[in-house]
Amino acid sequence: MIAQARITSDTYASVHLDNEVVEVEGADLSELRAHVKQVFITAAQIEDSPLDVVILEPDVRHHLRVEPSGRISPREPGEDDENLPELPADDRPASLQPSGGAAATPSGRAGHSAVSPWAGDASADTFTGEFPVARSHRAGRRRAHGAPVSGISAPSSVSAPSSVSAPSAAPAPSASSASSAPSASSAPSATGDTWRARTADEDPAEVPGSLSPTTAPSSSSVGTAPTKNELVRQRGTDDGRPTLKDLQTSTARKPKAKASKGWRGFLTRATGGVIGPRPGKKEQYEIDRLERIRRPLDGPRNIVVVNLKGGAHKTTASLMIAATLGVTRGGNVLAWDNNETRGTLGWRGIPTDHTRTAVDLLHDLDRMRSPQASAADLDPFMRPQGAMRFDILASDEDPGSAASIDAEAFNDLNDTLSRFYRIKVIDTGNNVRASNWMAAVQSADQLVIISTVREDTFNAAAWMIDELRATGLHEQVDHAVTILSHSSKGTFDPVLRTRLKNHFGAHTRAVTEVPYEQQFVDGSHLDWNRVSNATKEAWLDATALIIDGM
């Protein structure tokens, strides 16, 4: 493999390693070179073998060998080197001079350097600053010619079209005009190889095709002079002066994520974070997924898990969704067993020293409705799940008592519990005509249809969907997430997988799968530490899909 580094300015370079592109920045050319060297040395150390590299600068190439020890020496270019593409013309800023301030000495080949400023022992280099970007070579990375790199000002001189007479030197903008200058996001885009820019105080009429800044007065302003108070209210917005929000936005900086896994994470640790590439594709997906799950919600939310067949993994799904939310969001999550008969959610959680249930809470609901009631008053009825950071509200173990939880009782409990929990994951029974079952579905901000890949279970789920649509709950179905749970270690028949995904995908917003998990077979309480990484990853994916809909 021939690795490459493309030096496109005194402060910016891109390093191409196998299937990765690492973007490197430095305060000056010397620091930039030190950072590029460190990337190559780290790559050689990871491979534990010398790394042949080519460093492309304007009109010169450096053919080098990087040792894991940190030694960098010149080498003769081989056939692979000759096939490397030239540095694109639009990646060569005019301001960049050949490295070292001196012309490179040719080595018998045009554009090749015999004396390289890169060769030598890199161990004496000191590394400062940040190395902020690492991403797949397939990602769109091209910068427009002349577009400023982070921390570099745009060029002040601008070439005007020949048909337009431009002033010889643009006047320095005043404080007020500077505040109205276009932001980086609104700057002109590159066309071909030409980058056109305009100073804030340039006459728009001198730019062909530009829009006139003149605007027609609104009907409300015609014939009416603004009062003094109106002028005060308009100040800070209409006259271009920054507001408090502008100040806070301009000073707020989102910390750059640094890789913690793979060779990028090794590079971050090896340099003490001085060089910190951004996460790779897989790690970035995990970070984005976590942000999706942790997304702030506008108010309390209900996730209702349904299937009319017993053994469909409803209780397992309720536990895993609640545990995933608790671990990632940090609490304020309730798993509630709303089974119209005796449910098993309480049995599947970590045991507690009491047996109080939803029926007991219902009898004490008046006290919980008091303005003075707090979350601590709920503790006698809840079963905390330790490090998983969620609580369980169990159904009554007496089927006769559980029958007292009808639609009205469910709604009363739901209203009270919503005061104390941000997210409630509601496990349900098997009777579509039970009033508390229907009340739970109607309360759902996100319906989760769970099914194993057994024919009797997914047929029950499909029939339930038809029933919900027939009773006018088509919106809940359209917005639902379907989870297909593997019930054995065997291979999932690809034909059956396609059938199920096509059917449930036509009815619900998303369809996802979770693998077979040995721990769930014996029906004992959930132990998060025993759950396999593959199962946790699948439930993280499923939970992210669920939160997306809330």
pLDDT for residue 240: 76
Domains with residue ranges and CATH for the chain: 2-136 (no CATH), 297-548 (3.40.50.300)
Number of Cβ within a 10 Å radius of residue 466: 11
Does the structure show a pLDDT above 60 at 219? no
Judged by average pLDDT, the poorest of 89-93, 98-102, 386-390 is 98-102
Q: What pLDDT digit, counting tens, does each position of 444-479 carry?
A: 999 999 999 999 999 999 999 999 999 999 999 999
Does the structure show a pLDDT above 70 at 51? yes
pLDDT for residue 243: 85
| C-beta of residue 445 within 8 angstroms of C-beta of residue 302 | yes
Using 50, 70 and 90 to split pLDDT, how confident is the model at 92? very low
Can you point out the beta strands (E) in 245-398?
301-306, 333-338, 383-384, 391-393
Please tell me the distance from the alpha carbon of residue 19 to that of residue 137, in angstroms, as a whole number: 6
Q: What is the DSSP secondary-structure string of 332-344? A: -EEEEEE-SS---
Using 50, 70 and 90 to split pLDDT, how confident is the model at 43? confident
User: What's the whole-number mean pLDDT along residues 495-520?
Assistant: 95
CA angle 383, 388, 392 (to 5 degrees): 25
User: What's the whole-number mean pLDDT along residues 183-196?
Assistant: 37
Does the structure show a pLDDT above 90 at 358? yes
185, two tokens: 């996001």
pLDDT for residue 313: 94
pLDDT for residue 167: 40
pLDDT for residue 81: 67
Using 50, 70 and 90 to split pLDDT, how confident is the model at 45? confident
pLDDT for residue 173: 42
Give 517's strand partners. none
Task: Please state the φ and ψ torsions of residue 429, each to the nearest 5 degrees.
Answer: -90, -155
Does the structure show a pLDDT above 60 at 443? yes
Using 50, 70 and 90 to split pLDDT, how confident is the model at 441? very high
Position with higher pLDDT, 200 vs 66: 66
Dihedral sign of CA atoms 304, 309, 310, 314 in order: negative
Sheet architecture: strand order including 133-136? 120-121, 71-74, 60-66, 51-57, 2-9, 12-17, 20-25, 133-136
Number of Cβ within a 10 Å radius of residue 17: 22
pLDDT for residue 225: 52
Q: What pLDDT digit, counting tens, does each position of 137-165 carry?
A: 333 333 333 333 333 333 343 343 444 34
Please tell me the distance from the alpha carbon of residue 139 to that of residue 142, in angstroms, as a whole number: 9
Where b means 16+ CB within 10 Å and e means fewer, 223-237 reads eeeeeeeeeeeeeee
Does the structure show a pLDDT above 90 at 112? no
Does the structure show a pLDDT above 50 at 106? no
Kind and range of the H or E run holding 121: strand 120-121
pLDDT for residue 248: 73
Kind and range of the H or E run holding 24: strand 20-25
Q: What pLDDT digit, counting tens, does each position of 369-402 carry?
A: 999 999 999 999 999 999 999 999 999 877 656 5
Contacts of 373 (CB under 8 A, 6+ apart): 367, 419
Please tell me the distance from the alpha carbon of residue 458 to that of residue 308, in angstroms, as a whole number: 10
Kind and range of the H or E run holding 524: none
Please tell me the distance from the alpha carbon of residue 392 to that of residue 348, in angstroms, as a whole number: 10
Using 50, 70 and 90 to split pLDDT, how confident is the model at 230? low
Q: Which residue has tokens 């409803």?
A: 314
User: What's the whole-number mean pLDDT along residues 541-549?
Assistant: 98
Please tell me the distance from the alpha carbon of residue 331 to that of residue 359, in angstroms, as a whole number: 24
Position with higher pLDDT, 232 vs 482: 482
pLDDT for residue 171: 43
Position with higher pLDDT, 38 vs 177: 38
Judged by average pLDDT, the poorest of 169-173, 259-263, 509-513, 541-545 is 169-173
CA-wise closest residue to 317 among 461, 469, 494: 461
Angle between the N-to-C axes of helices 314-329 and 281-293, in degrees from 0 to 180, rounded to the nearest 10: 100
User: What's the whole-number mean pLDDT along residues 483-487?
Assistant: 94
pLDDT for residue 481: 98
pLDDT for residue 24: 85
Dihedral sign of CA atoms 42, 44, 45, 46 in order: positive
User: What's the whole-number mean pLDDT along residues 53-65?
Assistant: 87
pLDDT for residue 349: 93
Please tell me the distance from the alpha carbon of residue 464 to that of residue 437, in angstroms, as a whole number: 12
Using 50, 70 and 90 to split pLDDT, how confident is the model at 47? confident
* pLDDT, averaged across the chain: 77
User: What's the whole-number mean pLDDT along residues 238-265?
Assistant: 75
pLDDT for residue 99: 42
Kind and range of the H or E run holding 205: none
